[in-house]
Amino acid sequence: MINTIKYLKFSQILNRVKRRLIKLTPDLLVASSISLPETKLSSFIQCQEKMLNENELKFLNVISSVQKQEDWNSDNHEKLWLYNLHYFDDLNGLHSKNRTAWHINLIQRWISENPFGFGNGWEPYPTSLRIVNWTKWFLLNNNVRQEWLDSLAIQTRSLSQNLEYHLLGNHLFTNAKALIFAGLFFKGEEANNWYRTGKDIVDKELIEQVLPDGGNFELSPMYHSIFLEDLLDLVNVHQAYSVPLQDNFRKKIVKMIEWLKVMCHPDKEIAFFNDSAHGIAPSLEDLLSYAKRLNIECKDSRQRNITHLKESGYLRLDINDLVIIADLAKIGPDYIPGHGHADTLSFEMSLFGKRMFVNSGISTYEANNERHKQRGTLLHSTITVDGENSSQVWGAFRVARRARPYNIKNISKGLDIKFSACHDGYKRLKGKPVHCREWSVFNNSIEIEDRVTGNGKHKIRSVLPLHPEVKVSEAKENLVYLVVSGKKIKVHFEGEGVLRVEASHYYPEFGLSVDNKCLIYDYNGIIPFKMTVRVSW
């Protein structure tokens, strides 16, 4: 516990105490009049449909009906599913106009069945997303009822008293975005105060959360994409209301888009580092299209042979048929590593345009064994020592001791490239093991060399999860043949360990588990130890 708390900011601890002591005071005054945009809004990014009929919804690959009041906070669902229920994303989903009658009914039900301050819906994060979604929907020429406006104003007042300074990061930014949307939508001094509060937070958080290389500081490609959509939404609404933004706002968006391009595979979807999965954030293509609608020009840049995002810590190698994205990064911001995984020195690899070696993704945020396993080192393409995680992930969003990468190098001579790094995550163990990894690329092959230094006897395991579409055609001793995109790939392990192919699971979306295979190479003996994986095609 102490190794978790010591990294927190004093303001986080103080605000946790304040939240326990101070109770929200409902302000049920009617809403002020609304302010309509001066120019037409550009179309927002539309999510996939969430409502299947008037009472049946699908979130996180789970379908359920919401027919009575207690269903809004049912114990039969994960908290994240209930959060999604209260977001109201479907108001701005694909073909949403076809579901207008359902949306009207759902809004009416939410107002009548969710009394002030009770249940998941009044927590600040879902409140923030709902405020934005309702405001977007109200702005798109829908017949807005005064009762809805009154509820929206009450929700915004509640949020303004309950900003998530105890969490910071993406939660606080999402709170601020909601205050800005409501502050522009309503008229009057109260709305002006909401706007000023939200804008002050956004300006400060942009400096904190966007790294010089364009990455979001939580180091999750999924949350980076969510944050990027937030920035584009803010440009959109400010543009429509003819309210200026700071000069560097658009420049940061361009940098963030360039970062995201580096972190996507040839399939144009994100790599799975830290909490990342498909189906939650908008795709790179959606974000590029949205930016274009807002007249934000992004370079149509071709990836270089090697791109090192130094401040984020990720490195991409892109040569002919091969793409590697490697994690040479710390686990995340020290004071909010909750979306971090114990994945230091892991990598993902695509060959012939198809994913081959992968990290295993994420399917749940519940504080259970599944969440702990998915954050753990064994489901990532790297090395474990004595069955321990490289960083001490625990709970749903906690991290104690953290692996620190160091001695990061990359050397490029034409198409012959080497890059390497070490981390100290296992030095807490007896014998103080240190893991170093070097990737070397030449001709149609790659070598991944792992060294574990220190002393004493240890159990070393190399893990290489395979994408579900990769087939194992042959395995014998220390040699495996894989089939990727119809082509045969040779994977040869050198060292004193023992190779086996194991059944495993891949989690490309929340609520979804797909069978896959995993290459496991075990060594049990004295360190120092060295092993090499040679992949050729």
**Residue 505 belongs to some domain of the structure:** yes
**Using one digit for the tens of pLDDT, what is the confidence trace for 319-366?**
999 999 999 999 999 999 999 999 999 999 999 999 999 999 999 999
**Using one digit for the tens of pLDDT, what is the confidence trace for 178-236?**
999 999 999 999 999 999 999 999 999 999 999 999 999 999 999 999 999 999 999 99
Q: What is the mean pLDDT of residues 148-165?
A: 97
Residue 430 and residue 478: Cα distance in Å, rounded? 29
CB crowding 36-59: b at 16 or more within 10 Å, else e:
ebeeebbebbebebbbeebbebbb
**Residue 462 belongs to some domain of the structure:** yes
**Residue 380 belongs to some domain of the structure:** yes
**Cα angle, residue 360 at apex, residues 359 and 365 outer, rounded to 5°:** 120
| Length of the chain counted residue by residue | 537
What's the structural domain count of the chain? 1
Exposed/middle/buried for residue 71 (C-beta within 10 Å: 0-12, 13-18, 19+): middle
**Using one digit for the tens of pLDDT, what is the confidence trace for 449-496?**
999 999 999 999 999 999 999 999 999 999 999 999 999 999 999 999
Write down the pLDDT at residue 301.
66
Residues contacting residue 21 through CB under 8 Å, at least 6 positions apart = none
Residue 286, token pair as written in the block: 């959606």
Q: What share of the chain in percent tops pLDDT 90?
A: 89
Sign of CA dihedral 495, 497, 502, 506: negative
Residue 215 and residue 166: Cα distance in Å, rounded? 23
**Residue 97 belongs to some domain of the structure:** no
**Using one digit for the tens of pLDDT, what is the confidence trace for 29-52?**
888 999 999 999 999 999 999 999
**Residue 46 belongs to some domain of the structure:** no
**Residue 40 belongs to some domain of the structure:** no
**Residue 233 belongs to some domain of the structure:** no
Write down the pLDDT at residue 302.
63
Residue 239 and residue 521: Cα distance in Å, rounded? 55
Write down the pLDDT at residue 303.
65
Domain that holds residue 453: 307-536
What integer best gives the mean pLDDT of the chain?
95
Reported confidence tier of residue 12, pLDDT bands at 50, 70, 90 = confident
Lookup result for tokens 């001695």: 407
Write down the pLDDT at residue 21.
74
DSSP line for 184-236: HHB-SHHHHHHHHHHHHHHHHHHHHHB-TTS-BTT--HHHHHHHHHHHHHHHH
Residue 300, token pair as written in the block: 């149509």
Omega prior to 26 cis, within 30 of 0: no
CB atoms within 10 A of CB 209: 22
Sheet strands side by side (includes 354-357): 306-309, 314-319, 322-327, 347-351, 354-357
Residue 70, token pair as written in the block: 């207690």
Cβ proximity of 381 and 347 under 8 Å: yes
**Cα angle, residue 358 at apex, residues 387 and 325 outer, rounded to 5°:** 110
Residue 86 and residue 14: Cα distance in Å, rounded? 28
**Using one digit for the tens of pLDDT, what is the confidence trace for 278-325?**
999 999 999 999 999 999 988 776 667 999 999 999 999 999 999 999
Give me the CATH number covering residue 512. Answer: 2.70.98.70
β-bridge pairing 487-494 and 479-484? antiparallel
**Residue 394 belongs to some domain of the structure:** yes
Q: CA 239: distance to chain centroid?
A: 27
Reported confidence tier of residue 142, pLDDT bands at 50, 70, 90 = low
Cβ proximity of 41 and 235 under 8 Å: no
DSSP reduced 3-state for 341: coil
CA end-to-end span of the chain, whole Å? 47
